[in-house]
A and B are shown apart, each in its own frame.
Chain A
């Protein structure tokens, strides 16, 4: 059995766990714990502390694993471990919380430094009324026009599929260009 993996990363509460849950064929193996910080508890009740783990069986010989990283900075020692050997990575950004954009940028730079693998950035929660426009987010995140920046709703399987496909197209394009 051959296995490959992709990593889903991003700041706290960006929607990484939901993203993986939307396409994983198994219940996501999650390491959620109740949040102790009052400020963070106002955003959500529990958060990932080690990783999320989802699986998509491609055929009888090939399985894709999806790993979600913990979003809180104090668990960043897990990032490098999870990123080893990844095909590519997805940076999730909460479109409704501009206060997390700076951290998203920092996470993106950290993962780019870990490995020269292709990546895409997903603007999550685009279905909410107070979501930022994609162009405004691209500007705020200082993303180059060549970087794929995709609208996403982590609970909507179709948009999750689009994000995964765009990452795979990037991986294929890099392979074909000899990268």
Chain B
């Protein structure tokens, strides 16, 4: 039976599609293992950024690397999706060019359960009591 006039049928090998889907899932899992959160920032390691061959996409990411910019912000600026930014950052990590850090100025409210008191001096006293106790063990 011929397809309707407004459709073009394309023959695809189902096995190849499944294999490619499976490969992409594995890649996604590995990237998520390596870079669990895009809320973190990047900073350059001490290794100088000389004599490295970077793609255009990689340069676009590299140009925004700054302890103040989260990976999510870099991705949004470059109109990249989660997997694209993770793939590039993974490559930069493996090359030892960058490391993941907590963004500068990132305000994460301390869980109210962390300390039984919100008074800073009482919190310090509590930590000092813990230190004395552990020393005495």
Which of A's residues lie within 8 Å of B, judged by CB? 2-4, 23, 56-59, 62, 64, 84-87, 103, 105-106, 109-110, 112-113, 115-117, 142, 144, 157, 161, 164-165, 168-169, 171-172, 175-176
Contacts and interface: CB of A to CB of B under 8 A. Distances in A.
Interface stretch (B17-25, B29-37, B51-59): B29-37
Contact of B130 (A64, A86, A103, A157): A64
Contact of A171 (B40, B106, B127): B127
Nearest to A174: B127
Contacts of A103: 33
A172 B131 contact: yes
Interface of B: 33-37, 39-40, 93, 96, 99-100, 102, 106, 108, 110-117, 120, 123-124, 126-131, 133-135, 137
Nearest to B131: A168
17 contacts: A4-B115, A4-B126, A4-B130, A23-B137, A56-B133, A56-B134, A56-B137, A58-B133, A62-B126, A113-B37, A115-B108, A142-B99, A161-B137, A165-B135, A168-B130, A172-B127, A176-B124
